[in-house]
């Protein structure tokens, strides 16, 4: 099991009802999971808790076999860097850097040179794999939004994460590019053997993944 939520509840100040009400979810290795649900139903909150970016009020997150220690910021960011890759709705690439420099950003904290070199080669191979090897020295403004989003996907994978978390990764793309991105994500997920949780409001995208869950009124149900 890569990650597991055990009866996780979460609410925000001034809210009458809980965003998440004793939500449990098991994420085995090498699997793809879609989380759907209406806007404001707590999908991002759930993903942020899985990614240690937010904390549960009660219940537990078990990540790679242990419960993260939220009070140790350094430790938790090490765990996050090692285990988890994030893809968001906007690509968040740095405009002043080339695509190659952008995908190398997660490698900055690495101190082991051979590890760094390997990850760098992996990033370049992934860029080639998704048809962007000619664009390595371009800046984000010189390529399309779809190409930026595919680069952000490689940036999330360069550290070989065991868990990839994607929050509406196709939200800024037209339907053709959305479909291309999700197909590439799925191919890479199977090839590389990580697990992936994708938040999407699109049923068309959700049903491409192995398991589909719906979040509604604080509860999560497999559909």
Q: Is 17 one of the binding residues for ligand ADP (CB under 6 A)?
A: no
- In the complex, what is the shortest distance from the CB of residue 96 to ligand ADP, in angstroms, rounded to a whole number? 29
Identity of the residue, 40 or 65, whose beta carbon is nearer to ligand ADP in the bound complex: 40
- Name the residue nearer to ligand ADP (CB basis): 78 or 217: 217
CA 165/CA 61 separation, integer angstroms? 15
**Is 18 a binder of ligand ADP (CB under 6 A)?**
no
The residues in 29-48 that bind ligand ADP, with binding defined as CB under 6 A, are 37, 39-45
Q: Which is nearer to ligand ADP, 37 or 146 (CB)?
A: 37
| Angle made by CA atoms 104, 110, 113, in degrees to the nearest 5 | 90
State the Cα–Cα distance between residues 54 and 220, nearest whole angstrom.
Answer: 18
Burial tier of 81 (Cβ tally within 10 Å: 0-12, 13-18, 19+): middle
197 binds ligand ADP (CB under 6 A): no
Which C-beta is closer to ligand ADP: that of 43 or that of 135? 43
Mark 123-162 with x for binding to ligand ADP (rule: CB under 6 A) and - for no binding: ----------------------------------------
Residue 98 contacts ligand ADP per CB under 6 A = no
In order, the DSSP letters of 110-179 are ---HHHHHHHHHHHHHHHHHTT-GGGTTS-GGGS-HHHHHHHHHHHHHTT--SEEEEESTTTTS-HHHHH
Tokens of 74: 């350094």
- Tell me the closest approach of the beta carbon of residue 200 to ligand ADP, in angstroms: 10
Q: Closest approach of Cβ 55 to ligand ADP, in Å?
A: 12
Beginning with the edge strand found earlier in the chain, give each strand of the sheet holding 32-36 in spatial order: 84-87, 163-167, 195-199, 32-36, 211-216, 219-222
- Nearer of residues 18 and 208 to ligand ADP, judged by Cβ: 18
* Cβ at position 76, least distance to ligand ADP in Å: 18
What is the DSSP secondary structure assignment for residue 72, as one 8-state letter?
Answer: -
The strand pairing partners of 164, in sequence order, are 85, 196
Write phi, then psi, for 194 (nearest 5 degrees): -90, 175
Q: How far is the CB of 42 from ligand ADP (least distance, A)?
A: 4
| 19 binding ligand ADP? (CB under 6 A) | yes
Which residues are at the interface with ligand ADP (CB under 6 A)? 12, 19, 37, 39-45
């Amino acid at each position: 099991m890569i990650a597991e939520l055990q009866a996780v509840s979460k609410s925000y100040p001034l809210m009458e009802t809980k965003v998440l009400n004793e939500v449990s979810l098991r994420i085995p290795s090498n699997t793809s999971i879609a989380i759907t649900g209406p806007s404001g139903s707590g999908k991002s909150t759930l993903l942020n808790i899985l990614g240690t970016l937010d904390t549960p009020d009660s219940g537990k997150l078990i990540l790679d076999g242990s419960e993260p220690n939220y009070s140790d910021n350094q430790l938790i960011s090490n765990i996050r860097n090692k285990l988890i890759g994030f893809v968001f709705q906007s690509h968040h690439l740095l405009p002043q850097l080339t695509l190659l420099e952008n995908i190398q950003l997660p490698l900055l904290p690495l101190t082991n040179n051979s590890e760094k070199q390997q990850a760098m080669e992996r990033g370049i191979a992934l860029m080639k794999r998704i048809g962007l090897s000619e664009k390595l020295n371009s800046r984000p403004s010189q390529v399309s939004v779809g190409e930026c989003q595919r680069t952000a996907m490689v940036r999330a994978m360069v550290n070989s994460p065991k868990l990839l978390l994607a929050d509406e990764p196709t939200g800024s793309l037209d339907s053709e590019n959305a479909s291309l991105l999700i197909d590439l994500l799925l191919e890479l997920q199977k090839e590389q053997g990580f697990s992936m949780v994708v938040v999407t409001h699109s049923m068309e995208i959700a049903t491409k993944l192995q398991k589909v869950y719906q979040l509604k009124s604080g509860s999560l149900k497999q559909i």
